[in-house]
Structure 1
């Protein structure tokens, strides 16, 4: 028993020495005891071990999502009229199936030559088979709707709860108050659960990234989730909770609008989707390109220097904020492209931010549409030639009749 206690004690010492090092997490001259003294009246103060509850909560979010998508989202999609496109099922060809599972992108000319020899099919037939096989793996609109509706519900609840818990705080209106009294700042119970739920949710998104629909901005989403998780965890441990709550509220303010626009897009409600997209674009550009850099990043970079000198954690925190801002600029560029299409085409054709699976899929759709147009054109040309033949036959018959009547008249 004594040996076990000794091992636990040594492990705790090693964790405190290498992981919870005060010179990294806290500014110079600040200790964990100073943070605890800020809650001397019995209120809550940040403790790193509080974050351990996020892993079971993330697994709980995954289970809750599974139930929500089947019990709530699926009936809702049917009620709103979400329809799935029916794709042609290909005839099984083992060698082509093996090639497709190994390499899903467009085959090269050498690949087509090799497959042509092994399968006994023409290159055109091989390309058609691979395109139809890829279409079978396309995510349905119902699946996209269920995924978007789950995120919409969470972001809406998180934004509402965060706004209610922060609207009466001093730092919500004056960002300089984020550092007033630091590090002796108590954490309200509502702000604590706001932190824990946000961290658990983003952790669940990261755990489900391999089974979720792969978006065009897949890599950017991974970077965003990782940066957000590290930012929330670090800001909580270092008691930058006031800045952290502002970061989360700014992000949640536009995310639920995006997910709602996706839902109505999958349901075919074009006017509602376009209206929500316009509102989302305005809120996103205002919060991510104006409020976030001018208030949140500014107070973390500039105002914090009035309280402590730069240290390793200072650069780590602001580095993560700048990573998020770089992603905001990238997404803002995509959104402005959509705004341009909305203004000049009159509608939002697709979600350039994260709704298409890949560029290759778009090209395949284009090829399929071109083949349809070619078939349609060929059909129309046949109809035209048939009509011309009918006209010529009628003229020929009329001329013969006239020639046969002329001798009689004479």
Structure 2
């Protein structure tokens, strides 16, 4: 008789218990400062859960890897989360984590510390740095991104941050409060907990992305008349919305043949589908010829109402938005290089007469954005596996950058205000 699966809420509660202690430990080790915890920067939604996975890997003593869970009561027997008893919702996360446990434990202590620093966006201290650390960090951050996109995580994350802020405080002076506020629920049908990591799937009633999107307010957004006097953020927003339209139109086109993978995600996990659509829109902007101008460090914000577009540089942006603008341009520059490398690799494979044309890395990035990171099951010689692992690691790292920017943009009020309306108007219809 197979072992029974653990209760999802119990596993979820255990994760948040460890997340609080991991954030506190990172604070003690100066990996994360109090002001970062208080500001609740978007990247902390990624680095926090990734650190939790990292510390759990260091504590792991079993093979295959498993996670000891906090006891529900003092008299309860010890319990470990393993592939045998893991709820299906968490199996993908556990598999990626388990594949990285021996890699993490195989690092020397200095490189383990470097790995924690990379997870937190800090530079490694070792010279030269161990390249293995970057690949492991990419995997852990990819899992953390999937976790941070879940509504059940977002609803409890502020408490985790506050617990870390309160740890070690003397009680004197003003208490530092975290500023994190969960992003809005993107559909009236999605009450907190109705979808997310550790939550049950939605009922079969939303049979298509259009039916999910139709739960948004049924009102056409006021048209944006863009002129040279329009605030710069409106140009950026409308350019991203135009790209979002292209992403959603692509879903509709697929419905005539077979379901688009993003359409399936809208059906079963709308919050994650929302983030994936925003990230794909960022890629659309980054790879549309004539929008990203890397040589000029600028974006040509295109609007149907303004002939010729509107060139925008980071210096012209409001100061709080400049980091996002700089990263968007950088992603565009790197995406164009990636596509050129993919084309070159395909041409060389054809010239060699290879039967299996390698999957373009850029296409792999899109798959990761929609489906999340998965355990690679490459076969072949060790050299081939190492090469595939390197390519996969680079694809995961790039997808992480796009997803991180998507999470950041989704938290900006100026983007959120019209986003629900845009999804309703631009969403695919039967």
Q: Same fold (TM over 0.5)?
A: no
Say which structure, 1 or 2, has more relative contact order (CA 8 Å, 6+ apart). Answer: 1
For this structure pair, what is the TM-score category when the shorter chain's length is used for normalisation? under 0.3
* Greater per-residue helix proportion: 1
The normalised TM-score by structure 2 is: 0.27
The structure in which a higher percent of residues are strand is: 2
TM-score, scaled to structure 1: 0.28
